[in-house]
Amino acid sequence: MSLLPVETALAKIFERIPAPQPEMVALPEANGRVLLEPLLARHNQPPFNASAMDGYAVRAEDFAEGASTSVRLVGTSQAGSAYSGTLNSGEAIRIFTGAPVPEGADTILIQENARVREGDSIEALQAVDAGRHIRRAGLDFAEGDIVLEQGRVLDPAALSLAASAGHATLPVVHSPLIAIISTGDELVPPGVAPGPNQIVASNNFGIAALAQRDGARILDLGIVPDDREAFAAAVRRAREAGADILVTLGGASVGDRDITRDVLAAEGMTLSFWKIAMRPGKPLIFGRFSGTSVLGLPGNPVSSMVCAHVFLSPLVRRLAGRIHAPDLRPAELGAAMPANDSRRDYVRASVALGPRGLVATPFPLQDSSMLSVLAAANALIIRAPNAPAAEIGDRCQVLMLR
């Protein structure tokens, strides 16, 4: 199989994955989901004219004569229990924040500006204007208003608004479940001191975080040795769990222990492609089981993360109903770069603002095992296949990572 250009590979992925799936979920589960329909308010908010302050509900005209006026306290309106009568001229109602403003009252004399004499005589210490400190019914939204647009990613404020508008469940896009299998005889989890010949498995954490940021749920199936039976069992677990995407880490190349592709095929996966014309990350597998897409990422930590940015992110976002808009920007090179070969290169770089715009400076070390370099990079310089050698100041394109 020849090396596939990145864009062709992405197009093949999009051809083969299902459309975003609708579902109804309870509010707490809707966090980060995409709203499928415009959301209409079920009632006015506030539902009644409500006081915005603690004080006294009064009629402004009663105070037209100035400071000497006093009105008589005749009742109380609390949040949750309104004053049932109508306020007449010469009367005041004790009122608290959020409580219904009684009929007849047209303003709130706030507590700080009121003086109480003889228990039930209220004087104003300042001029009293009509309409102050009252939240009119429907101020926030009215029944039938569209409070959230279709396609909105339900962020914290949107969730509170949906609740306020009377919705306990929401129609959203299913959040894809991503199962992750780390493969390698040499791997131990972080926190365990690696023995001779062992290294710490790291990729799964970054991949999981990226997928979660894009709207996925994660099922980390842990580390399996380079053993056909063990790997096959983990693949079955992922499918039984209903994973929308299975991400395998490692074992995708041509070494003796690179069993990933073989076992996936034996388990019934239809291979779509293997090997991409990119660096890092050439040995990348994409295929489908019925109901589960498989993305086999290379084991090298930087390769797997770059491939996740380039392939997993768009895939997850598509299933999650989100728009995929990678943050691509023009920049100028801060260092010379050699001619590229026939693979698209994603070069770890630091991008900063210079006098003429963004300047992208590649890190001198680009080894695909170096997470320290990836973590220091805030961007990848994208070098086209067969790009000629470039000088300082030449134009380039960068993919911002953060």
* Per-residue interface string for the shown chain with ligand AMP, residues 87-106, x marking contact by CB under 6 A: --------------------
**Which residue among 55, 251, 280, 296 contacts ligand AMP (CB under 6 A)?**
251
Site residues for Mg ion, window 201-260 (CB under 5 A)? Answer: 250-251
Q: Are 158 and 38 spatial neighbours (Cβ–Cβ below 8 Å)?
A: no
Among 253, 350, 378, 397, binds ligand AMP (CB under 6 A): 253
Candidate residues 55, 280, 296, 298; the one interacting with ligand AMP per rule CB under 6 A: 298
Smallest distance, Å, CB 226 to ligand AMP? 8
- Longest CA–CA span in the chain (Å) reads 97
Q: Which does 366 bind (CB under 5 to 8 A by kind): Mg ion, ligand AMP, none?
A: none
Q: Using alpha carbons, select from 24, 99, 23 the residue that is nearest to residue 54.
A: 99
Which residues inside 299-318 make contact with Mg ion, applying CB under 5 A? Answer: 299
Nearer to ligand AMP, 215 or 251 (CB): 251
Q: Is 131 exposed, middle or buried (0-12, 13-18, 19+ CB in 10 A)?
A: exposed
300 binds, among ligand AMP, Mg ion, none (CB under 5 to 8 A by kind): ligand AMP
State the number of binding residues for ligand AMP (CB under 6 A).
19
* Residue in 206, 208, 217 with CA at minimum distance from that of residue 29: 217
Please identify, among the stretches 1-9, 66-74, 178-186, 372-380, the one whose residues bind Mg ion according to the rule CB under 5 A.
178-186
Residue 228 beta carbon to Mg ion: minimum distance, rounded to whole angstroms: 13
Q: With CB under 5 A, what is the number of residues at the site for Mg ion?
A: 4
Q: Residue 293: name its binding partner from ligand AMP, Mg ion, none (Cβ under 5 to 8 Å by kind).
A: none
**Residues that bind Mg ion in the complex, under the rule CB under 5 A:** 184, 250-251, 299
